Structure 1
C-alpha cells in the first residue's frame, strides 16, 4: 500500500503510517475550521490511491452512476464527515430547491423513520437514502468513507439481496479493507487529539448539525456533539483498546 513504512508492506504498517499522517494534519490545523477539510481530503486521497493499487488485476466493479441498489443500508460516519456533509447540504440548498429538491426536509423525514433502527431493521425497511435522486447521489463529492468502501462485482446479487432473496454479495475486499484502515487510523488520531472519534448514524447526525450551526466549533473544542446519533458497534471503549494495542505492537 502507498504511504507505508518501507520495512513492512502489511496492513499494520499502513495503519500506523496513516495515523501518523492524520496526527500531523491535526497538529498543523489544531482548532481551525479547515481541519475538517484537511482530514477528509487526506482520507479520500489515501483511499483512492490505495484502492487503485490493491484492486489491480481484480474484476471490474458492477457499481455505476444510476445504480443505487445498496442505498437502503444504514450509513455510519465520523464527525468530520458529518460536518462536511452538513456544510455541503447548506451550500447546495438553494440550488437543489430551485429544481424541486428540499434536501434538509428529506433528511429530516428519513431520520424520523430510521432513527434507532439497527442494521437489520434498516435493511428490512428498504427506505431509499434521502440523498438519492433518480439513482444519483446528490452529495457524491463528499460521501462518507462507508459509501466509498462499499462496492460490488455483481449488480444482480445486489438486487436480489435488496429484495431479501440472498445475502451473498461479492463485495470488493480492497475497497472494504482500505476503507477500514483509513477510517480507523483517522479515528485513532482524533482520539489522541482529544476529539470525539466515534461513528454516528448519518441521517440523525446531519439533522443535529443542520439544527445547530455551532456544531463544528463545539466539536473542535472537544464536545461529542453527535452523541445522540452514536453507533456503538463496536463501542468507543473497544475501539480505544484496539487502537492502544496497535500502538503497542
Structure 2
C-alpha cells in the first residue's frame, strides 16, 4: 500500500485531473460522463495494478450478499444512474425500476446504518443475483470487495461482525471519491454524499435535477449523508491542498 507521502501525492494529482475535466467540460452535456469515466477508470486501473501482490477477491457475478448495505453516491453518480435507467434495456420488459427504487426508499430512508443492515432489504437493482446498473454502479459499490464469500454470508446472517474486506479497494475508493469531491467543491458544484435510493427517487421525480446541479444548486440536499459534515471534510481537503498539516491524510471513510 502507499505511504503517507504517496497518498497525499495521489490525492493531489487526482484532484487536479478532476479540476481540469470540470473546467474543460463546464456547460457541456458530457461533463458528468467525462468526470465519472475518469473516476471509474482511475479506480479500476489503480486497483488492478496494486492488486497483483494481493489474494484474489471473492466477489463475482451472481453474488449479491453485501447488497443490503446502504450505498452512498455523489450527485454526478446519482444523475448518471438516473439517466442510465431511462435508456438501458433491462432483462424484464415489465420491470419498473423507478417504482422499485421508490419502494426501497420508503422502506429504508428513515433507518440508520444498523437498522438498515438488520432489515436485510436488498438493493432494488439486484435481479436474479446480478446488478442491473453494473456499468454505472457508484464508487461505493466498486470499493466494497471481500476476500471470503462465506464470511460475507455469515455477516449478512448476523453470525459474525467483521469480514476480510479489501483495504486496497476501500482506500482507492476513498481517495478518488474524495479527490473528485474536492474538485467539485472548488468548481462550485454540490459535492456531498447522498443516500442512493433517496437521491435517485428525487432525480427520477424531477427531470430538472441535472440542470439545477449544473448551476451550483443542490437538488439532493434532503438525501445528504450527515455523519461527516461538509465543513469538516472541507477543512481536511484544504489541509491536504496546502500541505499545512502532517496529519491531513484522508483515510478510508466507511460511508457505504
Corresponding residue for residue 24 of structure 2: 28
Q: What pairs with 1:16-95 in structure 2 (closer than 5 Å)?
A: 16-92=12-88, 95=89
1:12 aligns with 2:8: yes
Shift of 1:247: 0.8
Of 110, 121, 124, which residue of structure 1 is paired with 2:118? 124
C-alpha distance in 2, partners of 1:96/1:41?
22
Deviations 1:184-217 (A, max 9, x none): 0000000000100000000000010001111111
C-alpha separation between the residues in 1 aligned to 2:62 and 2:225? Answer: 29
Unaligned runs of 5+ in 2: 244-256
TM-score of the aligned structures, taking structure 1 as reference length? 0.94
Q: Which residue pairs with 2:189 in the alignment?
A: 195
Which residue number in structure 2 is paired with residue 172 of structure 1?
A: 166
**Structure 1 contact 219–225 (Cα < 8 Å) conserved:** yes
Q: Which runs of 4+ in 1 moved over 2 A?
A: 95-100
CA deviations 1:68-88 (Å, max 9, x no partner) are 000000000000000000001
Instruction: Say if 1:10 and 1:154 are closer, same or farther in 2 by CA, change over 3 A.
Output: same
TM norm structure 2: 0.92
Size of the aligned set, in residue pairs, is 242
Of 203, 206, 209, 1:212 maps to 206
1:183 matched to 2:163? The reply is no
Alpha-carbon offset, residue 97 of structure 1: 7.9
CA distance in 1, matches of 2:29, 2:199: 18
8 Å CA contact retained: 1:33, 1:216:
no
Q: 3-state SS of the aligned residue for 1:96?
A: coil
Q: Please give the alpha-carbon distance, in whole angstroms, between the structure 2 residues aligned to 1:113 and 1:154.
A: 29
- Contact 1:73–1:123 at 8 Å: present in 2 too? yes
Q: CA offset at residue 57 of structure 1?
A: 1.3
Per the alignment, in what secondary structure is the counterpart of residue 52 of structure 2?
A: coil
The residue aligned with 2:149 is 155
Secondary structure, in 3 states, of the residue corresponding to 2:147?
coil
CA deviations 1:81-105 (Å, max 9, x no partner) are 000000011112xx33853311111
